[in-house]
Amino acid sequence: MFIFTILFYLSVGITILAIILAIKINPKYYWIGSLTSYFFSFLGSLSIGIYTLSITFALFALALAHKMKWIKNYLYSIVVIMISLIIWILSILIIDDAWLFYPFRLVL
């Protein structure tokens, strides 16, 4: 079980680093941040995972919006984050947790 704790904190650190790099250097780092935040959401799924999944939704939405060249300034980023949080709220209310973490069920 200690290895899962190490993996959790390592993925949190990589997510934070990816967010900083995405803001400062290149928005492509949002993709890495969304994948690692999805991983630590899964590892924390017994306690706080469903709430940290909101970070994954926001980072994935930012990555997708930058890829589609929809983000022109910080106001567009705020709108994208708000829309992703609405989608997250609807997802946790409608979709079962097992389906939100379905890719990990395939692996494990």
The residue among 22 and 44 whose pLDDT is bigger is: 22
Residue 67 has what pLDDT? Answer: 94
pLDDT digits (tens, 9 = 90+) for 40-96: 898 887 778 789 999 999 999 999 999 999 998 989 999 999 999 999 999 999 998
Angle, nearest 10°, between helix axes 2-24 and 29-43? Answer: 160
* Predicted confidence band of residue 108 (pLDDT cuts 50, 70, 90): low
Residue 98 has what pLDDT? Answer: 81
The two tokens of residue 82 are: 């708000």
Residue 96 has what pLDDT? Answer: 84
Residue whose pair of structure tokens reads 């709430």 in the numeric block:
51
pLDDT digits (tens, 9 = 90+) for 26-36: 999 999 999 99
Residue 43 has what pLDDT? Answer: 87
Q: Cβ(42)–Cβ(49) under 8 Å? A: yes
Three-class DSSP category at 21:
helix
